[in-house]
Structure formats: structure tokens, C-alpha cells
Amino acid sequence: MFSGSIPALATPFRDGSFDEPAFRALIDWQIENGSSGLVPCGTTGEAATMSIEEHDYIVRVCVEQAAGRVPVIAGCGSNDTKVAIGHMLNAKAAGASAALVVPPYYNRPGQDGVRAHFKALTEACDLPIMLYNVPARTVTDIKVETMAKLSRFPTVIGVKDATGDLERVSAQRAQCGKKFCQMSGNDELALGHRAMGGVGCISVTANVAPALCAQFQAALAKGDYKAALTLNDRLYPLHSAMFSDASPGPVKYAINRVRPDFLPDLRLPMTPPDKKSRKAVDAALVHAGLI
């Protein structure tokens, strides 16, 4: 269902409020430059700082602006199963193509709890679910054996894997089946991830370099690893710079450098990237030919 370069969209704020015109313009720019899908209200989108109402509204705006040109995978994760269900129901009503859902964070459920959480989601809403495994943020890991069980639910279609463990691609391919949609959650590992059976990347860097990231994924889809490696070398410093300080500070600074209408404002507890990080972002933008 999904493949290629899909940005985990940053959310623009102005004076503390959602900057809807800047968000709509970002969406158009992403689609015009080859992004094959959109993820609003994920980690990069600062969903953890949003009210439930604001979260659901931003998903609706994204779907409306995309207008069927590309699919929208709505961030719907929560450590509260009822809240996650609510987000999924609202995303479905808005017209999203799927939900991106983390295992419950903070609560630290065991693997049985993870399975029960997702089972409840599939029973409450038939919107397709892309699992989001990012134990560095959630603490809770979706183990390969658990993912195999989850993949048996008819609406669980794949995973955004941000474990940083490429071995998992093969392990999950063996246990979840070749049709299970595996997307990289780490830009810097996307080349290797694709070679091992992945189909694309839910990307931070694509916020800043949508055309280059789309070209990179297109080269991989054609099996042109020489062209993909050239593009990867061009993008790698930017992948690294995106996490040179607490995310999404660096990426919002970077977007503002190439799109001045998109302010780099963050919501607490996030703070602007430090001088060293900004310097790394600037150098990476120059290396990629973006400024």
C-alpha cells in the first residue's frame, strides 16, 4: 500500500498556535517534489504537545490539502488505548489511508499488553495500522515474535522500523511475510533497509529535501544502487544533522532555511537547536546543494 519517500511532517507554529497556511503550503511543496505520502502528527510533528482536538484537526487539514494526490498515514499513537482509538476513528472519518501507531509509551506494558493494545485498536476501528516501533522513545519494543502475531490481524499492514537494527528487516520478513510493508524509520539506514526487503522510508530529512529523498527512493525501486549511493552520499550529512540536537529542533531550523514562510518555532519542552547543531545543519544544506 505504501512505498517511497514519505515525510514525517513537522508542524509549523506561529505565536504558539498551529500555522495552518504554512502547513498547507508545506504539503503542496512535498507533493510537487515527489513525496509518495504524508505523515501528520507523528514524533517530528510534535504530536505529544497537542491537545486531542488540535491533533485531530491537523490530521483533517492534511487529508483535505492532500486531496487524494497521495495517501495520508495519520499519527494516532497514545499510551492510552482509548485515546488511540479516538484518534483512529477521527482519522478514518477525515479520510486518512492508515494510522501510524506506537506501542504504549510510559506505561511500559509487556508483550502481552502490546498485543492487547493493538487488538483493541483493530476491533474498534478498521483503519489500516502501520506499527511504529521506536523503543528509544517508547521504551517498549515490539519484539519480532510479537510483530508476527500482530501481522496476523487483518488491518495491521506493516511497520515503520526505527529500532536501528537492520537485522530485523530479514527477521520480520521471515515471520510476518513478504507482503508485510516494512518502512525504514531511520534515514541514514534507508539504503540498507531497502536492500534487505524494505519498501521505503518515513523520513525526517524529506521535510527539507523532498525531491532528493524521492529521487533516492526511486533509484532504489529501480535497483539502481549506484545512483542511490550517490544520492545517499549527498544526503548523509543532512540525515546526521537532523539529530545533532533534540528533534525536531534541527529539522524545523532547516526547513526555515529553505522555506522562510515556515517558522522554526517549537513548543516546550523542546527548545531551539544550539549553535553547533545549526552550524551542522547549514553545512549539510550546502553539501546537499539546497542553499
Sequence-separated (6 or more) residues with CB below 8 Å from residue 168:
144, 161
Residue tagged 529521487 (cell numbers)? 215
* CB-based burial label for 260 (10 Å; 0-12, 13-18, 19+): exposed
Helix (H) / strand (E) element for 203: namely strand 200-203
Sequence-separated (6 or more) residues with CB below 8 Å from residue 95:
63, 72
* CB-based burial label for 110 (10 Å; 0-12, 13-18, 19+): exposed
Question: Bridge-partner residues for 159, per DSSP?
Answer: 131, 182
Catalytic residues: 132, 160
User: Which pairing describes strands 200-203 and 181-184: parallel, antiparallel, or unpaired?
Assistant: parallel
Cα–Cα dist 46/137, whole Å? 13
Phi, psi values for residue 203, rounded to 5°: -110, 145
Number of other residues whose CB lies within 10 A of the CB of residue 228: 22
- Cβ atoms 243, 185 nearer than 8 A: no
Phi, psi values for residue 93, rounded to 5°: -60, -30
Question: Bridge-partner residues for 132, per DSSP?
Answer: 160
Cα–Cα dist 157/226, whole Å? 30
- Cβ atoms 199, 172 nearer than 8 A: no
Cα–Cα dist 41/54, whole Å? 10
